[in-house]
Structure 1
Amino acid sequence: MGEASRTFDDLVAEAAAVSVAGWDFSWLDGRATEERPSWGYQRAMSGRLARASAALDIQTGGGEVLAAAEKMPPVMVATESWPPNVAKATALLHPLGAVVVADADEPPLPFADAAFDLVTSRHPVTVWWEDIARVLRPGGTYFSQQVGPASVFELVEYFLGPQPESVRRARHPEDARRDAEAAGLEVVDLRAESLRTEFFDIGAVAYFLRKVIWMVPDFSVDRYRERLRELDELIRREGAFVAQTTRFLIEARKPVA
């Protein structure tokens, strides 16, 4: 049965019940699409890990991105704060030789100074630049793909209304450059792209907002049922809800001297 032939109540009930643990979005296959950045973070991260001697992946989620690396360095550690993700990442990454450390998303990282020659992070919620610089060895690098400003804000503003410019500009790549340099790191690569995202049924929207909790922080199916119903009608009429996802890639190196 195609999603378009299912009722609003069926779609949102399904989306409300499914697990949102981990950082795997395969539940959305066929129900939503998102363009991928041209730089290929997964491939680039994997290549850097293969050349590293000791690496740290911060906010690893359920470990899915790290687990796809072709080769782990001799020392591989990942951190995660949400207990369901800690358990999921542990089960996935331990057989691959990576240790998962439960750690709050606030400094300090539970590691010694200069412990790693590579630190990675895909879509971190917070970035504590001074602590990242502290745990990097001289000559080591931080490599990260991050969510950019006003990402998927067509959807955010559908539920929350127009957002102030200060909120829309948050997570700007030039702010990341400034903060990295203030922590003593040298930014060697910084790229940004805007990418097309489409939601083809209301269940996909509800699932996405349950999983990416910072988009609409008070989101629940019950709280926003009427607004979801209106959006369901729009999707059925127009075929999809379209938004723009923003991403940026940053690579920063700790000076040798």
Structure 2
Amino acid sequence: MTPPQPRTRTGTFDELLASGASVPTEGWDFSWFEGRATEARPSWGYATTVAGRLGAVDGPVLDVQTGGGEVLAFALGRASRRPPMVAATEGWPPNVRRAAHTLRPYGAAVVAAAEDAPLPFADGSLSLVTSRHPVRPLWDEIARVLRPGGAYLAQHVGPASAFELVEYFLGPLPEGSRTARDPGRERRDAEAAGLEVVELRAERLRMEFFDIAAVVHFLRKVIWMVPGFTVEAYRPRLRELHERIEAEGPFVAHSSRHLVEARRPGGPGRPGA
């Protein structure tokens, strides 16, 4: 893909900090970053892939950790037809409200549920479970709620994602941190829960941050990257990074993503049908 060209940003260091610190962080709408940061997208086109699957599924669908519901809304809006029932779970209260508003026009119900809580659905009740960037996939719960022949289709954050940026602020991380979210480990965990992994694809993708405001907003929005991040706590490092970007150009990092599809054995037809 050809990323959009960065716009020239003006303003002092303090003005850029204030800009990045003032933007609301709820939901998964990243349009504010246009002209300030870019991230290459995986070749499989997750939201479009989900839209295709939604058009083919005949049973109830659940989107787990939906954020503000933006990705699910995109997929529902482009599906050739809508499933008979669509629901979503979300744990952060501001996102629950946002998702309810975003998904209401599509007839999707939003259920408040903590990310580590059991899924509030009956055993074998769902034909398709989707999720974009869950904090941690609950494989036993996913296997429990899927019907025989039902599928889990998701895009996960992979190992060492954006670690160039994370380690800029936190310093070198233990080796174990680099292997967390390993696709091979997730395959084994899914299989241990009784699921059959039918597709697993991984890619590493270029990210560029064109100004310090983009860095600030990103770390406020994706809170697990630098836990406890605040402008005040990291002001000296932010200034150093600002000066580096001003002198050398965009700060480059690399995100890690993988597409996983896992099926509960049994039942007719293709996964998710």
Tell whether the structures are fold-level matches, with TM greater than 0.5. yes
Number of residue-to-residue matches in the alignment:
256
Instruction: Identify the match of residue 243 of structure 2 among 209, 233, 238.
Output: 233
| Counterpart check, 1:26 vs 2:31 | yes
Partner of 2:17: 12
Q: Does 1:56 align with 2:62?
A: yes
Match of 2:202 among 167, 192, 197: 192
Report SS of the residue matched to 1:68: helix
Are 1:128 and 2:133 counterparts?
Answer: no
**1:24 positional shift:** 0.6
- Kept in 2, the 8 Å contact 1:107–1:131? The answer is no
Answer yes or no: is 1:44 the counterpart of 2:49: yes
CA separation in 2, counterparts of 1:243 and 1:46?
Answer: 29
Deviation for aligned residue 1:23: 0.7
Q: Percent identity?
A: 63
Q: Which amino acid aligns with 1:89?
A: A
Q: SS of the residue aligned with 1:49?
A: helix
Amino acid of the structure 1 residue aligned with 2:106: L
Whole-Å separation in 1 of the counterparts to 2:192 and 2:117: 16
Q: C-alpha separation between the residues in 1 aligned to 2:118 and 2:223? A: 24
Aligned with 1:37: secondary structure?
coil
Q: SS in structure 2 opposite 1:233?
A: helix
**Distance in 1 (alpha carbons) for counterparts of 2:86 and 2:9:** 44
CA RMSD of aligned residues (A): 1.0
Match of 1:65 among 58, 71, 90: 71
| TM-score where L is the length of structure 2 | 0.92
Q: Determine the structure 2 residue equivalent to 1:207.
A: 217
* 1:91 and 2:101 correspond: yes
Aligned ranges for residues 107-256 of structure 1 at < 5 Å? 107-256=117-266
The range that moved more, 42-51 or 199-208, is 42-51
Ranges in structure 1 where 5+ consecutive residues have no aligned partner:
none
TM-score with structure 1 length normalisation?
0.98
Deviation string for 1:200-254 (max 9, x for gaps)? 0000000000000000001011110111000000101111000011100100000
Which amino acid in 1 is paired with 2:140? E
Q: How far does the alpha carbon of each residue in 1:6-39 deviate from its partner, in whole angstroms, 9 at most, with x for none?
A: 1110011111111001011111001000000011
One-letter code of the match for 1:132? I
Contact 1:33–1:199, Cα closer than 8 Å, also in 2:
yes
Which digits, 9 at most, give the CA deviation of each residue in 1:142-195, with x for residues without a partner?
A: 000010000000000000000010011100100110000000000000010010
CA contact (8 A) 1:3 1:201 kept: no
Find runs of 4+ consecutive structure 1 residues off by over 4 angstroms: none
Cα distance in 1 for partners of 2:23, 2:38 equals 19
How far is the alpha carbon of 1:5 from its aligned partner? 2.6
Per-residue displacement from partner, 1:107-166 (whole Å, max 9, x unpaired)?
311110011100000000111100000000000000000100000000000000000100
Q: Aligned to 1:5, what secondary structure does the other structure show?
A: coil
